[in-house]
């Protein structure tokens, strides 16, 4: 089918299916690259990147005061992200929820929701600022580490991606649905990721088995027990696609007179406690959980969900197995590492490729920051050389400035200065013309020349650059590793469940009975 129109200078005949296809493809690509999929280098989507950059521009750093979230959202929408305020605020809230992200990038003050599924307060009531982890993501952004582009109306500039000194994609994970594709990456432990990165620097051809020995599986912010076979875990990380069985963490608590109860202390990732309790209550009412007598939520600051068995003769493991099979105390967490690669092309990557992409990004950031620093040192040395001319010929310089209408050309001609040096001399303050200042300038020149030589050696030696990257990773490991409260592993690596089926006898309550047989052949049972 074609769009019929008269051929004139300003109209063109085009098939409708082609026009729709081109426009839908443009929309799909925009959704994939600019909204739904994270970049493999910094692990962020555009909205998260813009939130962090806007908060940095507002100087909302750790140790400073909080600002209303409405102010942050307003800056993001007005300058960088022309979308709905609800979507932007929801993204901000998630970055601050300790039960939603493994390493929060935003520190919130006020009601930011809870594990029961309650939503956050309105943005006019809540306040926020960046965390130390977020600062590590932004480290080097003022040192030409990444490219910038104009915002949507050309009045501001924004970073295309973050320098990201932390491997955020694996540390915090990501999820999103684009057009025709989706991504789902579970969070991991930063200590283990850093170990894998360090090993990959030393051994670029490291096997997936070795990497998994250092990084055995996901580490969810809500804890739980990873109950998956090693074969499935290996396959998922090698191909970038798979799923993991995650179970709630529980223990048996002894009571008086031989009674006992089960206490659930950790829930699977993204399972809302209130909805789980409602679901279990519905199953009990429908008599689909005959071994369970009652469920109570005694949670306060810590999670404490009480499960009471119908009889003390029931095995706790069998009771929990029935609950795992019928409720969200066991869930499957999918993994689909579909990300934008270094060329901004969406594709599924395996674990080794994701780690190597981050290392390549850090190498590029190091080269760019080093080059930028060398340029600044060169410019500073040029200015300092001009200052030394002043102190060696102080009286003559002052005479030229006092007596000449155009002193700048005279200074350039007299001592063969550059334009930058002459301008710096003319902008000097009188208080700088001290003998002590001359000593400080000489000392600064020596320090800068020493740093310049070290940086030039670094730029010429790739091995030194990788050693520097390994040191950066080691520093990140110290800041956010297992020795910190934030870095301790929360998800326990457990054994996969056995294939045994819950016996039907386990569903029957055990109680003493008396069986009576009559002379006529009748049979009946009496309790007791």
Each of the 528 residues of the chain gets a pLDDT tens digit; together they read: 444 444 556 777 888 877 887 777 777 777 777 778 999 999 999 999 999 999 999 999 998 999 999 999 999 999 999 889 999 999 999 999 999 999 999 999 999 999 888 899 999 999 999 999 999 999 999 999 999 999 989 999 999 999 999 999 999 999 988 878 889 999 999 999 999 999 999 999 999 999 999 999 999 999 999 999 999 999 999 999 999 999 999 999 998 888 899 999 999 999 999 899 999 999 998 888 888 889 999 988 889 999 999 888 888 898 999 999 999 999 999 999 999 998 888 999 999 999 999 999 999 999 999 999 999 999 999 999 888 888 888 888 888 888 888 888 888 888 888 889 888 888 888 777 776 677 888 899 999 999 999 999 999 999 999 999 999 999 999 999 999 999 999 999 988 887 655 555 555 556 788 988 988 888 988 887
For the whole model, what pTM was predicted? 0.87
User: 79-110 pLDDT, tens per residue?
Assistant: 999 889 999 999 999 999 999 999 999 999 99
Contact 163, 174 (CB under 8 A): no
Contact 120, 142 (CB under 8 A): no
- Give the pairing of strands 225-226 and 492-493: parallel
For residues 21, 26, 32, 36, the Cα torsion angle rounded to the nearest 10 degrees is: -110
Query: DSSP character for 39?
Result: B
How many residues can be counted in the chain?
A: 528
User: 231-278 pLDDT, tens per residue?
Assistant: 999 999 999 999 999 999 999 999 888 889 999 999 999 999 989 999
Contact 81, 50 (CB under 8 A): yes
Query: Could you count the other beta carbons within 10 Å of the beta carbon of residue 52?
Result: 26
For residues 203, 205, 211, 212, the Cα torsion angle rounded to the nearest 10 degrees is: -160
- Whether 89 sits among the annotated catalytic residues: the reply is no
Query: DSSP character for 406?
Result: S
Close Cβ partners of 389 (under 8 Å, ≥ 6 residues apart): 397, 415, 417, 421, 425
Measured between alpha carbons, how far is 370 from 307 in angstroms, rounded to an integer? 59
Which residues, in sequence order, are bridge partners of residue 130?
106
Which residues, in sequence order, are bridge partners of residue 150?
157
DSSP string, 154-190: SSSEEESS---SS-HHHHH-EEEE-SS-EEEE----H
The one catalytic residue among 24, 27, 125, 152: 125
């Amino acid at each position: 089918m074609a769009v019929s129109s008269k051929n004139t200078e300003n109209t063109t005949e085009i098939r409708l299916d082609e026009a729709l296809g081109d426009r839908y493809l443009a929309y799909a690509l925009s959704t994939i690259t600019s909204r739904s999929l994270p970049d493999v280098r910094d692990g962020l989507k555009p909205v998260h990147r813009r939130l962090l950059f806007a908060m940095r521009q507002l100087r909302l750093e750790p140790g400073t005061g909080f600002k209303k979230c409405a102010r942050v959202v307003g800056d993001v929408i007005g300058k960088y992200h022309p979308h709905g305020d609800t979507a932007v605020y929801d993204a901000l809230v998630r970055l601050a929820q300790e039960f939603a992200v493994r390493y929060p990038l935003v520190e919130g003050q006020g009601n930011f929701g809870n594990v029961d599924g309650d939503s956050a307060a309105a943005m006019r009531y809540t306040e926020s600022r960046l965390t130390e982890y977020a600062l590590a993501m932004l480290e080097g952004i003022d040192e030409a580490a990444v490219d910038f582009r104009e915002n949507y109306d050309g009045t501001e500039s924004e970073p295309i991606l973050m320098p990201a000194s932390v491997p955020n994609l694996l540390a915090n994970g990501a999820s999103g649905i684009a057009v025709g594709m989706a991504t789902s990456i579970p969070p991991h432990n930063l200590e283990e990721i850093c170990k894998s990165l360090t090993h990959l620097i030393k051994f670029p051809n490291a096997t997936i088995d070795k990497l998994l020995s250092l990084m055995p599986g996901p580490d969810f912010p809500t804890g739980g027990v990873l109950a998956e076979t090693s074969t499935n875990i290996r396959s998922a990380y090698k191909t970038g696609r798979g799923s993991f069985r995650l179970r709630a963490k529980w223990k048996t608590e002894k009571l008086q007179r031989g009674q006992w109860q089960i206490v659930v202390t950790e829930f699977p990732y993204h399972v809302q406690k209130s909805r789980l309790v409602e679901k279990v209550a519905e199953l009990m009412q429908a008599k689909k959980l005959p071994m369970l007598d009652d469920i109570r939520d005694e949670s306060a600051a810590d999670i404490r969900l009480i499960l009471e068995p119908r009889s003390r003769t029931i095995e706790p493991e069998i009771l929990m197995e029935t609950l795992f099979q019928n409720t969200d105390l066991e869930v499957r967490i999918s993994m689909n590492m579909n990300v934008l690669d270094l060329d901004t092309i969406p594709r599924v990557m395996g674990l080794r490729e994701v780690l190597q992409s981050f290392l390549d990004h850090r190498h590029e950031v190091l080269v760019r920051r080093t080059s930028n620093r060398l340029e600044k040192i060169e410019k500073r040395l040029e200015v300092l050389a001009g200052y030394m001319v002043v102190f060696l010929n102080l009286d003559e310089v002052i005479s030229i400035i006092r007596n000449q209408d155009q002193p700048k050309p005279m200074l350039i001609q007299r001592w063969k200065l550059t334009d930058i040096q002459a301008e710096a001399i003319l902008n000097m303050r009188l208080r700088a013309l001290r003998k002590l200042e001359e000593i400080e300038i000489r000392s600064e020149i020596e320090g800068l020349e020493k740093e310049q030589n070290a940086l030039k050696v670094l730029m010429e030696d790739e091995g030194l650059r990788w050693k520097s990257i390994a040191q950066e990773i080691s520093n990140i490991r110290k800041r956010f590793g297992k020795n910190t409260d934030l870095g301790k592993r929360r998800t326990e690596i457990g054994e996969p469940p056995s294939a045994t089926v819950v016996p039907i006898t386990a569903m029957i309550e055990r109680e003493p009975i008396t069986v009576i047989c009559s002379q006529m052949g009748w049979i009946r049972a009496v309790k007791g």
